[in-house]
Amino acid sequence: MIHEQTIREAAACKGIGLHSGVEVNLRLRPASPGSGIVFRRTDLDGFEVEATGRNVARVSYATSLMKKGVLISTTEHLLAALMGMGIDNAIVELDNLELPILDGSALPFVEMVQRVGVRKQRRRRSYMRILRAIELREGNKFIAIYPAESYSVSYSINFPHPLIGAETYTAELTPEVFRRDIAPARTFGSLEDERVLRNMGLIRGVSQENCIVLDRKTVINGSLRYPDEFVRHKMLDLIGDLALLGRRILGRVIADRAGHAMHTAMVAMLLRNRTLWEETIPEEGREEVASHPLPVSLRTDN
């Protein structure tokens, strides 16, 4: 059987929030089986906010959680790292409202997990087995999940920048693939958008050390880690947002220019409708999924 996992011992890091610009200390702690990922605000008497779609607060330029007025902001990179590395249970302590952006990717969080190691737990891991196709559309944006025997993701983007344009990346989500091919992909932004976003009270902590910075033609702060680093980072965000389902998916995810709002809309739809999936505890190497003919489709034109 496949068992749940946590980290072997605590690991810590510190940095600044991408949007708030505030300093924050983060400590990742082991957690008991069945507890999931829980954020704990040490500056607010240890108030806890569970990493679930039911606590999603706002998702404009990052995914934030809120419970009883307590905010946890920019959760997607850490959640992607934990999902990608197979961590089911962990406590995330932080002393401010926003997680540190670090280098703009999930790699520093992956390295935290690697430094302390992974511990297998006695509880068997349950999966969300997708039973039939689920599709969401909003204009030219699209996200869908289809029945499959494992967890795979395909993401497409199309930016009107000569260095980006149309990119598609597909991956089978395993710890090795995530660590090597997805986790190092950094967030990105353009100088043209900087003033607008700062006027909105965003990206106060952005720098050339934690973001790929583009002018109208090229990257101005070094070379890319991958030729298609932009779409890989969007896949990273998607994996982190879908971690708010609270369990690993058995399904094939396809997204086209979706973004945080559509990612979390898919999470909300799945959590609301238990006819779309079933909880299953597969044996090692036997993650079979039945196929069902009728898709569920929702179009939103806002």
Residue 161 a catalytic site member: no
Check pLDDT > 80 for residue 220: yes
**End-of-domain residue from the set 108, 124, 140:** 124
Check pLDDT > 80 for residue 18: yes
Regarding whether 239 and 168 lie in a shared domain, the answer is yes
Regarding whether 195 and 131 lie in a shared domain, the answer is yes
Q: Which domain holds residue 280?
A: 127-299
Q: How confident is the model at residue 1 (pLDDT cuts 50, 70, 90)?
A: low
Q: How confident is the model at residue 50 (pLDDT cuts 50, 70, 90)?
A: very high
| Residue located via tokens 């997805």 | 182
Mean pLDDT over residues 69-91, rounded? 97
3-state secondary structure 110-172: HHHHHHHCEEEEEEECCEEEECCCEEEEECCEEEEEEECCCEEEEEEEEECCCCCEEEEEEEE
Check pLDDT > 50 for residue 287: no
Check pLDDT > 70 for residue 211: yes
**End-of-domain residue from the set 124, 144, 165:** 124
pLDDT tens digits, 92-125: 999 999 999 999 999 999 999 999 999 999 999 9
Number of domains in the chain: 2
Residue 69: CB partners within 8 Å, gap ≥ 6? Answer: none
**Catalytic position from the list 19, 77, 233, 260:** 260
Regarding whether 280 and 160 lie in a shared domain, the answer is yes
CA distances from 235 to 20, 41, 112, 238 (A): 24, 28, 21, 5
* CATH number (domain holding residue 151): 3.30.1700.10
Regarding whether 167 and 110 lie in a shared domain, the answer is no
Regarding whether 115 and 161 lie in a shared domain, the answer is no
255 close to 214: Cβ distance less than 8 angstroms: no
**End-of-domain residue from the set 105, 124, 143:** 124
| Amino acid (1-letter code) at residue 255 | A
- Burial of 121 from C-beta contacts in 10 A (0-12 / 13-18 / 19+): middle
Mean pLDDT over the full length of the chain: 92
* CATH number (domain holding residue 77): 3.30.230.20
Regarding whether 95 and 135 lie in a shared domain, the answer is no
| pLDDT at residue 302, rounded to an integer | 31
